[in-house]
Structure formats: C-alpha cells, structure tokens
Amino acid sequence: MRRAGMVRVVGPVQWILYPLLIALAATVVLATPIKLFGLSLPEPVLLTPLAFAWPLIRPSMLAPGALFLGGAFLDLFWGAPLGLWTFCLMAVYGSILLCRNLLAGQETRALFIWYAAATVGAFLLAYLIVTLRVGNPPSLLSLVGQIVPTLLVFPAADWLIQRFDDTDVRFR
C-alpha cells in the first residue's frame, strides 16, 4: 500500500513558542553573575533574532504578542523602563514586515546586513529613549558591548528562516 504525499504542518508552537522560551531561558542563564577571566558573560538581546526572523517566515498575529510578552519580561528582568524593549522589538518586527517582499529569498549575507541595520536601529532607539528619560546618556562602551553579542547571534535568525520558511505548503 502506498502512502499519499505527507504534508508537513508546522504550527506556531514550533516556530514561535519554543524559540521564545529558549531565548528567555538563555537570557536568564547569561545574566548569572559569573566571571570568566575577569570578564562577565555577554548580555545580548536574544529576542532580536526572533523579531527579525518571524516576519520573514510568516506574518502572524501571535508573533507580535509573543514579542510583547518577551519584551515585557526583558524590561522587568533588566530593570529597564517598562515598554522599552517591547517598543524596540516591535520596531524591528514592523520594519522587517514592511520590507518583507524585498527580503524574501535573499542570501544570508544580505539578510545579515538587514539584521545589523535593524539591530543597530533598535539599540539607537533604546539609547535615545533612555537618554531622554534619564537626562543622562548611557555609556557608549556598554552600548557597543551589548550590540556586538546581539549581532553575533544572527546565525539563530538565519537558522530559523532556513528551517521554517516554506515548511507549510498551505501558505504557498
């Protein structure tokens, strides 16, 4: 007996919930006060690759909600002004969603350039908001110390895009 062609249905649990939980758990692990060779662990914003990849994989109503919850968690966990990282992550999601038609099918180098631009834009937005709120600009060295590890997490966004883009044939 021959089986009919199987359709692989990938739901939001696989491409939204699991990556969100992994990113939040890794954020907590990287925030532990461990010093290696006199240096503390980096604290990248691990939700940035998700905010970049999710609109490219498939626009969804669940992804902005997950980013809202993840951004609120980051704000509470890091002691940032409430809504800061939620707003910055939504800005990344919205800008990539607007450019989705330009980015669909691009190679990894082009996606990295867009990821870098979106990440730097999100951090500049956060820098401006904190500067206006506090009245004193944060350290540029710490800003760069958080941007660089966030840029180095790009392979996670690329893996998500490669893994889940066009996995559900119902959306072709």
Residue in this structure with the two tokens 């710490």, named with its chain if needed = 142
Whether the per-residue pLDDT at 4 is higher than 90: the answer is no
Whether the per-residue pLDDT at 87 is higher than 70: the answer is yes
* Band of pLDDT at residue 126, cut at 50, 70 and 90: very high
Confidence (pLDDT) at 36: 81
| Alpha helices (H) in 40-172, listed in sequence order | 48-57, 62-78, 84-98, 100-103, 108-134, 140-151, 154-164
Q: Per-residue pLDDT averaged across 123-138, rounded?
A: 95
Whether the per-residue pLDDT at 52 is higher than 80: the answer is yes
Tens of pLDDT, residues 12-30? 888 899 999 999 999 999 9
Whether the per-residue pLDDT at 100 is higher than 60: the answer is yes
- Three-state DSSP class for residue 162: helix
CA nearest neighbour of 104 among 156, 157, 57, 52 = 57
Alpha-carbon distance values, 89 to 138, 146, 170, 171 (Å): 19, 15, 28, 25
- Paired with 39 in beta bridges are 36
Q: Is 105 left (phi over 0), alpha (psi -120 to 50) or beta?
A: left
Confidence (pLDDT) at 172: 46
Q: Per-residue pLDDT averaged across 88-112, rounded?
A: 95
Percent of all residues in the chain with a pLDDT value above 90, rounded to a whole number: 75
Structure tokens at 100: 């989705």
- Three-state DSSP class for residue 36: strand
Structure tokens at 130: 């904190």
Whether the per-residue pLDDT at 171 is higher than 80: the answer is no
Confidence (pLDDT) at 11: 77
Tens of pLDDT, residues 31-51? 998 888 888 888 999 999 999
